[in-house]
Chains A and B, each alone.
Chain A
Amino acid sequence: MTPTRTAGGNAREAVTPYLFLLPALLVTLAVVLVPVAQTMWMSLHDYVLFRPKNVPFIGLGNFARLLKDEVFWISLANSAWWIGLVVSLQFALGLVTALLLNQSFWWRGLARGLIIIPWALPSVIIGLTWTWMYDFNVGVLNDVLLRFGIVEKPVAWLAQPGTAFYSIVLALIWQGFPFFAVTILAGLQTIPDELLEAAEIDGATRFQRLRSVILPSIAGVIGTALLLRTIWVANSLDVILVMTGGGPGFATHTLPLYAFLKAYSGMEFGYGSALALVLTLLLLAVVFVYVRRQSRELGR
């Protein structure tokens, strides 16, 4: 005799997963959805923190203002350039590092441990460390370049618009490449040796093995890592804030930094929220791709 399901049992079964999900949903609601709703509300108001009793509703006024705001467009362009450069170079360096760490050598375990250090350091420490390395008067970078005769005079790395942006990009690449290295290394270790051996027997060169065997095998890992890193880099402002505060002028302004400065320096929470929402909308496209990719992988 097969057991029959009662109506009550079916209902319980249908509700149970939601009960298990409820605590997580409530926490998400409290720490994500409520602040997002609050940000949307503020973006529609002229909300200045030191005028809490006078918060007029201005509709899309803040969004109309940002379209005419020169600094917004500078920050948006810088953000695009910033994300493209940082993520692609972090990935390239991470891939090379992962391939090296996947080789056999006697101190491989130590090397794998050391490589994670930049990723583990707090951003403020990284910002300060690189600021002093770039320092005009006492920085180690100028000292080395002068000693080797590469430059005749010290370079003001963080004070010139032509160098400030790329100086911070370099610091960010150093900070973030271990994430790619470790993620890709984990992917590399899932590639069966037989595949590589078969390619070798077929006469594939190292580069051909990388292009036709290794990269396709870890494409899923690389895709996910690139998407995640794009979101993180697009949102990050701490290292820039510590190193230049967005200067000189607007040379290192990115969209999240501009939103932060408007909110916390100008105390214009309404306008800062509008800027943050624009960034959120742009990032939603990336998030959409990421979520689709994840659900496809879960469906497999």
Chain B
Amino acid sequence: MGETHMKRRTFLKLAGGTALAGSLARPALAQQVTVKWWYHFDNPQNTPAELVAKFEKENPGIKVQAEAIPWGGGNDYSTRMFASIVAGNAPDCAQVKLNNQARLMEMDALAPLDDYLKGWAGRSDIADNIWTLNRASNGKQYYLPLHYVVLYLYYRTDMMAKAPATTEEFLAAAKAATKGDVYGFGMRGGGGGQDNWGAFVLGGGANFSKGGMVSEKALAANRWYVGLAREHKVVPPSAPADGFRQIVDGFKAGRSAMIIHHIGSSAEMVAALGDKVSAAPVPATPGAKGWTQFGDESNAVFASSKNKDAAFKWISFLSTGENNAALAKLSGQLPIANSAAASWKGHEKRFVDASVASLPIAGVLPDSPKTADFATTVWPQNMQRALLGQISPDDMMKAIETHFNG
């Protein structure tokens, strides 16, 4: 019995000693901070491990824990992000999209970066209009741009001589290409198709301010777009359900002559079609300003992070020069830093040219908490119903107007 007591006492002493040693050792460990970063790449096999190793070598006090989060069309990623914020378990920083900025601001989930950016040398290496596009409605800068894409028109050079520059030329070219089971335009009527629709309807005069969806110009542009399917029948009957994979595969298989997507799919296109595929800015509606989707990708630091300084160091590292180029290679998008873009060899030149030529009309969806639901639910449901003739094109626009402006 006595021996047992001795053992217990010895154990307690040892345990106490170990705990003390642990607490004494802690100040040294505290210098090492860990930054948890969430990212997503289209190709899940790509890993940022080399960039992490380079950063950790340059910043010995900071460890980066990079976690790949499944994208799932954007919904999976953002749902996890919002859930982690509500649960108090958000990462320090993450890749973010503009269509979620308003929601994140409403949750007070973002840390403003303005003070950090004042002292960051890479700031002037990113174009002013990109900063403007990313600025929040309250004038603060929460997003640090990372890379981008711009939507443009892919066309089959073996099916048409040149890219249509206007909507009139587009319709004529689509009609000419539609024969048998080949269709002029691979319309994306399923998830994500609002950026195809935006090129013609927002580009034709619709906008998200009050009354902007039900103006005569907006209604006419939408009637024309729905008419491609219902009246002119230049899009495949599968259009209401077609998403990214279906339009790209249909285009590669020669079942459609034109589709709208961005440079992220160019490598796959070239691998399948070689010189038979090229790209140009989306067709312009005569008398209208034109619009195409600016596909943004940024990083943000979360307000809940205890390591904001280290998190900013990591995300600014990713938006700087050659690091930015290395990351763009992994994501398949275009680098945001001018110094990286100048010598960019990650894509075929004709697709980079089409992207750059599209920048003057590139825009983003409104900075509103309702935008994400518009993209994932309101637009596809109403577009599909309009394409199927269940509602009129005008009713579709009224539904979008109601969603944003009540």
Which residues of A are in contact with B by a Cβ distance under 8 Å? 49-53, 135-138, 153-156, 158-161, 164, 244-250, 261, 264-267
Chain A interface: which of B153-161, B334-342, B385-393? B385-393
**Contacting residue for B253 out of A52, A137, A158, CB 8 A:** A137
Tell me how far the C-beta of B13 lies from the nearest C-beta in chain A, rounded to whole angstroms: 36
Q: Cβ of B369: which chain A residues have Cβ within 8 Å of it?
A: 50
Alpha-carbon distance A279/B293, docked complex (angstroms): 39
Tell me how far the C-beta of A24 lies from the nearest C-beta in chain B, rounded to whole angstroms: 27
Confirm or deny: B264 has a beta carbon within 8 angstroms of a beta carbon on chain A.
no
Size bracket of the B interface: 35 or more
Q: Cβ of B236: which chain A residues have Cβ within 8 Å of it?
A: 136-137, 156
Q: Indicate if the CB atoms of A159 and B381 lie closer than 8 Å.
A: no
Alpha-carbon distance A264/B80, docked complex (angstroms): 10
Q: Cβ of B133: which chain A residues have Cβ within 8 Å of it?
A: none
**Contacting residue for A50 out of B106, B249, B253, B384, CB 8 A:** B106
Q: Which chain B residue has the least Cβ–Cβ distance from A52?
A: B86
Sorted nearest first, the 6 A-B pairs with minimum C-beta distance are A136-B238, A156-B238, A159-B241, A50-B103, A248-B384, A249-B385
Q: Indicate if the CB atoms of A50 and B82 lie closer than 8 Å.
A: yes
Alpha-carbon distance A266/B86, docked complex (angstroms): 16
With most chain B CB atoms within 10 A of its CB, the pick from A154, A160, A247, A266 is A247
Tell me how far the C-beta of B147 lies from the nearest C-beta in chain A, rounded to whole angstroms: 25
Q: Indicate if the CB atoms of B388 and A161 lie closer than 8 Å.
A: yes
Q: Indicate if the CB atoms of A248 and B103 lie closer than 8 Å.
A: no
Confirm or deny: B203 has a beta carbon within 8 angstroms of a beta carbon on chain A.
no
Q: Indicate if the CB atoms of B376 and A248 lie closer than 8 Å.
A: no
Q: Indicate if the CB atoms of A264 and B384 lie closer than 8 Å.
A: no
Tell me how far the C-beta of A238 lies from the nearest C-beta in chain B, rounded to whole angstroms: 13
Q: Cβ of A261: which chain B residues have Cβ within 8 Å of it?
A: 377
Confirm or deny: B145 has a beta carbon within 8 angstroms of a beta carbon on chain A.
no
Confirm or deny: B277 has a beta carbon within 8 angstroms of a beta carbon on chain A.
no
Q: Cβ of A138: which chain B residues have Cβ within 8 Å of it?
A: 249, 253
Q: Indicate if the CB atoms of B107 and A52 lie closer than 8 Å.
A: yes
Confirm or deny: B373 has a beta carbon within 8 angstroms of a beta carbon on chain A.
yes
Q: Indicate if the CB atoms of B237 and A136 lie closer than 8 Å.
A: yes
Alpha-carbon distance A135/B186, docked complex (angstroms): 14
Confirm or deny: B239 has a beta carbon within 8 angstroms of a beta carbon on chain A.
yes
Q: Which chain A residue has the least Cβ–Cβ distance from B108?
A: A53
Q: Cβ of B107: which chain A residues have Cβ within 8 Å of it?
A: 50-52
Confirm or deny: B250 has a beta carbon within 8 angstroms of a beta carbon on chain A.
yes
Q: Cβ of A52: which chain B residues have Cβ within 8 Å of it?
A: 86, 107
Q: A249-B388, A265-B376, A266-B373 are in contact. Are A135 and B246 (CB under 8 A)?
A: yes
Q: List 26 A-B contacts (CB under 8 A).
A: A49-B86, A50-B369, A52-B86, A135-B246, A136-B236, A136-B237, A137-B250, A137-B253, A137-B255, A138-B253, A156-B236, A156-B238, A156-B241, A158-B241, A159-B189, A159-B237, A159-B242, A160-B237, A245-B190, A245-B380, A246-B381, A247-B240, A248-B384, A248-B387, A249-B381, A249-B385
Q: Indicate if the CB atoms of A154 and B181 lie closer than 8 Å.
A: yes
